Structure formats: structure tokens, C-alpha cells
Amino acid sequence: MLEQQIVNAISLGSVYALFALGFTLIFGILGVINLSHGGIFMLGAYAALLLLTRVNLPFWAALPLAMIGAGLLGLAIDALILKVLRKRGAPHLMPMIATIGAAILMTSLAQGLFGSETRRFPIDLFDQENLTFGSISIPLLQASITGLSVVLMVLMIWILRRTRLGQALRAIAESPRAAALLGIPVERLFHLTSFVAAALGGAAGILIGLSFDAISPFMGQPMLHKGIAAIILGGLEAVRAAVLGGLFLGATEVFAVTFLSSEYRDALSFGLLFLVLLWRPQGLFGAAATRSA
């Protein structure tokens, strides 16, 4: 049973990590807590669902198209809301509140367009096979999703650490003004970041929709709470820390159920959140006082 629970913890954790990835990217570089990320996540899943069932595209085409769609939505939010507030030099709270509004708008829109009931991707899309190792069983689909999340995360970390683009982004994370003085096209990279973060959010929505068969207009809100918890636990501004935070949150939840009781699962994981905020505000895996997107 314990081996199975370890597998459960990794698979749940990688879901949180995947969601936290785009979320933390925006925070690290734009310095904004984008609460519409849950809405983008949800609409990404719906976009893929429509492309698969209405346009009858194969999955390999639907996934990137839906990601681009989600990315464009993120771009629109940046251009219509965040940019305006940036220009105005609005205090930190403003973009947060504005993106809550955007999230509510997206939820209501999805409800009107698709109805409020839970839907799922076509069941015959993938083999519903299980990988079995002794007493452990992992749905093949879930294993590939965990694998894909890891690939996306490693790719993001590699871009940020090892490329010129990453260097420029990290410079912006350090100080947008100084970066602009150095000739870095800050606005353009803000747009790019918004696009990539939203595309990652959309991908998370699609992959999570696939592994749990639960697409609904309300799927974003609980995931947003978990995503916030993951990035606070891990460390607010670093992609690597957010990913570890997601895995840590998944493990906390699963082991709370295993060794304590499912009744106390959320009490434990969110209680831990308070403790981290009190004793290690930079997060469990974040480096104190150095910004590293």
C-alpha cells in the first residue's frame, strides 16, 4: 500500500507542479499574482475538448492548438488589463483584483457556452491501460502526463538558466527598469511571458482534464488554491522551487490521508502553509532574498 501511495503522491504532486509552473512564471517576471490563471487553465481544457469533439482533430494537433488559444487569452489579459495597470503604476493589489474579475468573467462565460455540468474527453482517446509493478498500478495515461509535466518543467528551467532569452527574463525579474536601460525589450518580453505562462496553464488544464476526466467551468478555482499553496510552499519566485512546492504539497496530502485521516488532509496541508509563511517566508525551496525567476 505504501508503494502505491508514493506513486499517488508523485502523480498528484506533478499535477500541482504543472499548474504552478505558469503561475509562478508570471509572478516571477511580471511581479503579478494572476488569479485568472485558473480560468485560463479551464478554458484551455474546453478548447481542446471542442477541437477534439467538434472539429474532430487528432490529439497531437488539438493539444498545441488549444495551448496557443490559451496563450492568446493570456496575451489578451496582459494587453487589456495588466499592461494598463503597469502603465499607470498601479499598486500590487490592483492587478490581483482585476484578474479575479477576469476569472469570474471566464467562469460565467464557460457556463453560458458549455453548461455547468462536468464533461470529459472522449473515452477512446487513449488506451485505458494500467502499468502494473507487483502491487503498484499506474494508469498509463497518468504516467505519461507526469512524464510530460517533467519535460515541460525541465524545458522551462533550461530556457531560464541557459539561454539569452532566459538571461533577459531574469534581468527583468531583477528590475524591469534596469533591464529596459540595458536595452532589453521589456514590454515585448512581458507579452511573451504572459503568452507562455497561459499556454502552460492551458496545457495543465488539458492534461489534468485528461487524467481526471473532470472538465467543468469550476475546475479552475480549487486548482488555483492548490497552485497558490504550491508556490508559497516552494518559494514564490523561482520555477524550480514552485515545482518542488507542487510535489511537496501532493506528498503532504497523500501522506496525510495515509497516516492520519482524510478528514484532516486539508487542515494539515494548509496548516503547513501558515507555518512556512511564518518561519520560512521565502519558501521551503526558495533562496532567501535573491530573485531568480
Partner 1 sequence: MRTHLLPALLALSALLAQPALTRAEDIRIGLAEALTGPASQYGVPIRNGFILAQDAINAKGGINGNRIVLVEEDERGKKEEAINVYKKLIFQDKVLLAFGPTLSNSMFAAGPIANSARVVAFGTSNTASGITDIGPYIFRSSPMEADVVPVTLKTAIRHLKLHQVGIIYGNDDAFTKSGYDVFKQALEAEHIAVVDTETYAKGDVDFKAQLTKLKAAQPDAIICPCLSEEGANILLQARALGIKVSFIGGNGFNSPKLLENAKSAAEGTIVGSPWFDGNPSPENQHFIAAYRKKYGTDPNQFSAQGYDALFIVANALRKIKLTGQLEQDRQALRDALPAIQFDGATGHFAFRPAPPHNGKPGGYDADQTPFVYIVNHGKFTLLK
Contacts for 235 with CB less than 8 Å, ≥ 6 apart: 241, 242, 245, 282, 283, 284, 285, 286, 287
By CB under 8 A, which span of 1-9, 74-82, 186-194, 199-207 interacts with partner 1? 1-9
Binders of partner 1 among residues 90 to 119 (CB under 8 A) are 108, 111, 115-119
Inter-residue contact 194 to 74 (CB < 8 Å): yes
Residue placing its CB nearer to partner 1 in the complex, 59 or 218: 218
Which residue in the block uniquely carries the three cell numbers 501532493?
A: 250
**CA atoms within 13 A of residue 131's CA, in its CB half-sphere:** 9
- Segment interacting with partner 1 (CB under 8 A) among 137-145, 165-173, 191-199, 239-247: 137-145
Q: Is residue 159 close enough to count as binding partner 1 by CB under 8 A?
A: no
The angle that helices 93-114 and 37-53 make with each other, rounded to 10 degrees, is 30
254 forms part of the interface with partner 1 (CB under 8 A): yes
Does 53 help bind partner 1 (rule: CB under 8 A)?
no
Residue 143 makes CB contacts below 8 A (sequence gap 6+) with: 11, 131
Answer for which of 59, 114, 126, 218 binds partner 1 (CB under 8 A) is 218
Q: Rule CB under 8 A: choose which of 101, 185, 222, 281 binds partner 1.
A: 222
- What is the smallest separation between the CB atom of 147 and partner 1, expressed in angstroms? 17
> Are 19 and 204 contacting, i.e. CB atoms less than 8 angstroms apart?
yes
Give whichever of 11 and 194 is closer to partner 1, judged by the CB atom: 11
- C-alpha distances out from residue 114 to 66, 123, 155, 217, Å: 16, 19, 33, 8
Q: In the window 259-278, what residues touch partner 1 (CB under 8 A)?
A: 261-263, 265-266
Q: Is 216 in the site for partner 1 (CB under 8 A)?
A: yes
- Residues 285 and 239: beta-carbon distance below 8 Å: no
Contact 274, 6 (CB under 8 A): no
Per CB under 8 A, the segment of 21-29, 154-162, 232-240, 255-263 that binds partner 1 is: 255-263
Cα distances (Å, whole numbers) of residue 74 to 48, 213, 215, 235: 16, 24, 20, 23
Q: Which of 219, 229, 241, 242 binds partner 1 (CB under 8 A)?
A: 219
Q: Which is nearer to partner 1, 20 or 208 (CB)?
A: 208
CB of 32 to partner 1, least distance (A): 24
What whole-number distance in Å separates Cα of residue 193 and Cα of residue 25?
7
CB 5, min distance to partner 1, A = 6
Q: Looking at 101, 137, 177, 290, which residue binds partner 1 (CB under 8 A)?
A: 137
Q: What are the CA-CA distances from residue 183 to residues 96, 119, 133, 179 (Å)? A: 29, 48, 55, 7
Site for partner 1 contains 12 (CB under 8 A): yes
Which set of grid coordinates corresponds to residue 137? 498500478
Nearer to partner 1, 64 or 115 (CB): 115
Contacts to partner 1 from residues 180-209, by CB under 8 A:
208
Distance CA 118, CA 16 (A): 20
Residues that bind partner 1 (CB under 8 A): 1, 4-5, 8-9, 11-12, 15, 108, 111, 115-120, 123, 128, 130, 137, 139, 142, 208, 212-214, 216, 218-219, 221-223, 253-254, 257-258, 261-263, 265-266
